[in-house]
Amino acid sequence: MEQFLEKAKNASRIVATMSGSERNRILREMAKALRSNTARIVEANTIDMRKADEENLVSSLKERLLLDEKRIDAMAVAIEEIAALKDPVGRVIDGWVTEAGLKIEKVSIPIGVIGIIYESRPNVTSDTAALCFKSSNGCVLKGGKEAEASNIIIAEVLQSVLLQNNLPKELIALLPDSTREGVSKLIKMDKYVDLIVPRGGEGLIRYVSQNASVPVVKHDKGLCHTYIDKDADIENAIAIAINAKVQRPGVCNAMETLLVDEAIATEILPILKSAFDHEHTQLKGCAVTQKFIDVAPATPEDYDTEYLANILNIRVVTGVDGAIQHIVEHSSGHSEAIITENITTAERFMDAIDSACVYVNASTRFTDGAAFGFGAEVGISTNKLHARGPMGVEGLTTYKFKIYGKGQIR
């Protein structure tokens, strides 16, 4: 493992000095190579799909695992879009002249070697490999067991393009030991690996955060809230609440708890109830909510549960400060929204909540790299440092100071 990671580290030094246009040309070749190898990729995917049948995987997982010509073309298009993004490396982020007359430039540079741990969908393999290559980083990928054959062939196709361009294939590497033990080793290798991005279940993320000596950017759970203030536009409030919960309940930026200002509860709760009933949402409510509408009781644990399903807690709170207090106690720091027409209330909420994304009058479902205009997304970070919220290709860079002198000494 150590030798393998040393190779990856050395490979990352080579890509670090390549020009953006070279990297983009190679990315476009990778897209082409995926298309021209469609048959081989589909064949390998058949092996994974057969195994999934044998092991009786649930149909939603199988659906995510499947690769066909259309999906492989979409993977190629994604790489072409990444090639078209502005170069994230070499941006001058800041610059000034010091008292001693030194010219300082703060410039974005690649991070080095990035280890990414993810599950099921094999398109993540080509997406993340392309994002890392775009940002001049090497990557070590650890995909899910269920997609093993697909991941291997996708990596092989991308590596063949590297080799054709006289680049080491270790720039896009699959972790050789993909057991839990292999992961344990990887996250301790701070000599060779500069960042670990775990995407997956809570157990995995907790394990990695607790045991890694390599810095970690987590993609942890999203326990998102929407607060409907007494000064809300009712129509907006209903539309946003429904959208935040039901448009795609299984994702991290979906709402889990709806907070309602007590001053508007009588008026809005019955409307909300009938709107959510129409969407077959299973509602749970606090004691006050239950006075106004007929819903199951919400337990204290419910407020800390990421349902990832069409289930919603409703809690009546005392104004914006009551909402803030609930969110501070229960939020995972992902995304929260306030619905209000009152600018003072809105700013009070936006300032007091320190989640990665704080919305006024919009659905939390917009917390997403594409919706933010980042073009492509490494994931949605729940870290407080380095990268927060939707993490685009800039999240795969760090910086250094370039200092230009004329013989200055101290």
Q: Does 366 bind its own copies (CB under 8 A)?
A: yes
Listed residue (70, 46, 65, 53) closest to 147, CA to CA: 65
The residues pairing with 316 across neighbouring beta strands, listed in sequence order, are: 260
And the tokens for 134?
């775009």
And the tokens for 79?
């790489």
Are the beta carbons of 192 and 8 closer than 8 angstroms? yes
Q: How many CB atoms lie within 10 A of CB 12?
A: 25
Q: Which of residues 81-100 bind its own copies (CB under 8 A)?
A: 96, 98-100
Shorter beta-carbon distance to its own copies: residue 18 or 74: 18
Q: Which of residues 197-236 bind its own copies (CB under 8 A)?
A: 209-210, 213, 215, 233, 235-236
Residue 329 CB, nearest approach to its own copies (Å): 11
Q: Which secondary-structure segment (H or E) carries 95?
A: strand 92-97
In Å, what is the CA distance from 136 to each residue of 165, 195, 233?
15, 14, 47
Q: Does 362 bind its own copies (CB under 8 A)?
A: yes
Residue 187 CB, nearest approach to its own copies (Å): 12
Q: Does 279 bind its own copies (CB under 8 A)?
A: no
HSE-CB at 191 with a 13 A cutoff on CA atoms is 8
Residue 219, Cα to own-chain centre: how many angstroms? 6
Residue 178 CB, nearest approach to its own copies (Å): 24
Are the beta carbons of 2 and 192 closer than 8 angstroms? yes
And the tokens for 41?
């990729």
Residue 357 CB, nearest approach to its own copies (Å): 5
Q: Which of 49, 154, 358, 376 contacts its own copies by CB under 8 A?
A: 358
Q: Does 385 bind its own copies (CB under 8 A)?
A: yes
Shorter beta-carbon distance to its own copies: residue 52 or 111: 111
And the tokens for 153?
């062939």
**Candidates 139-147, 150-158, 242-250, 281-289 — which segment interacts with its own copies by CB under 8 A?**
242-250
Chain positions contacting its own copies, by CB under 8 A: 13, 16-17, 96, 98-100, 102, 104, 109-112, 190, 194-195, 209-210, 213, 215, 233, 235-236, 239-240, 242-244, 247, 328, 350-352, 354-363, 365-366, 371-373, 383-386, 388-389, 398-410
